[in-house]
A and B are shown apart, each in its own frame.
Chain A
Amino acid sequence: MTNTATIMNSQRTISTSRFGTIAIDDDKIINMTSPFLGFPDDKEFILLPHAPNSPFWWLQSINNPELAFVVIQPALLEVSYRPKISINIQQELQISNELDQEVLIILTIPQGHPEQMTANLLGPVVINTSKKLAKQVLLDPARYNPCQPVGTAK
């Protein structure tokens, strides 16, 4: 007996307010070990590239069509940023090899004023890319700005 569900296995469709209905692979789903502050019900996300050659990614909630963050690799910003991720956080994310650890920065882009975009350097997202576990980490507020201006025109 053929079971189409198993043939199609590990895919699902989710609805999103920005991208419509999209099909995603279950193994790409990122589980939050603790939710984003202010969004306690959103525990699963997926990283979607914004566009070819774009510096941005979307971190889209699986459960909430309207919730998505714009994220960027810190190396693409005009800031030197190598925060130390504590051993406790690495344990929570089951990071045993630093190659599995990726840090992404959430951007705030004001509607109609991209030049005023800011980067949340205080609360980066740390991801275990092999186990697909993530967490927003709070760093030292004396050192890191939650809304660092980063929109530099060329």
Chain B
Amino acid sequence: MLILTRKVGESIAIGDEIKVKLLEIKGGQIKLGIEAPGQIPVHREEVFERIIEENKRAAQDIGSDLSHAANFISKRDNL
């Protein structure tokens, strides 16, 4: 892991399109400003992890018959 020391107001460049700026340090928290092209998603890491976890739960094999589960979709009559 590359480790860099920065002061408030200073930045790190990742490639030539991504900039991470240290905006503020307060009470054990730091505030970062991130500039990245729109096609690069930027999220807190725990959001990615939450989606990975939910995707894995959703992918668990529950068999191919969902007809019982379909009864719990109340708007199915709109089909």
Contact = CB atoms under 8 A, between A and B. Distances in A.
Contact of A37 (B51, B67, B72): B51
Given A88-B38, A106-B58, A138-B41, A122 B51 contact: yes
Contact of B73 (A19, A51, A77, A88): A77
Question: Size band of the A side of the interface?
Answer: 35 or more
Contact of B67 (A51, A66, A115, A136): A51
Interface residues of B, number: 35
Given A55-B73, A78-B75, A37 B52 contact: yes
A69 B59 contact: yes
B39 to A, nearest CB: 5
A120 B54 contact: yes
A114 B71 CA distance: 9
18 contacts: A37-B48, A37-B55, A38-B52, A50-B70, A68-B59, A70-B66, A76-B75, A78-B75, A86-B38, A106-B55, A106-B58, A114-B66, A114-B72, A138-B41, A138-B43, A147-B54, A151-B72, A153-B72
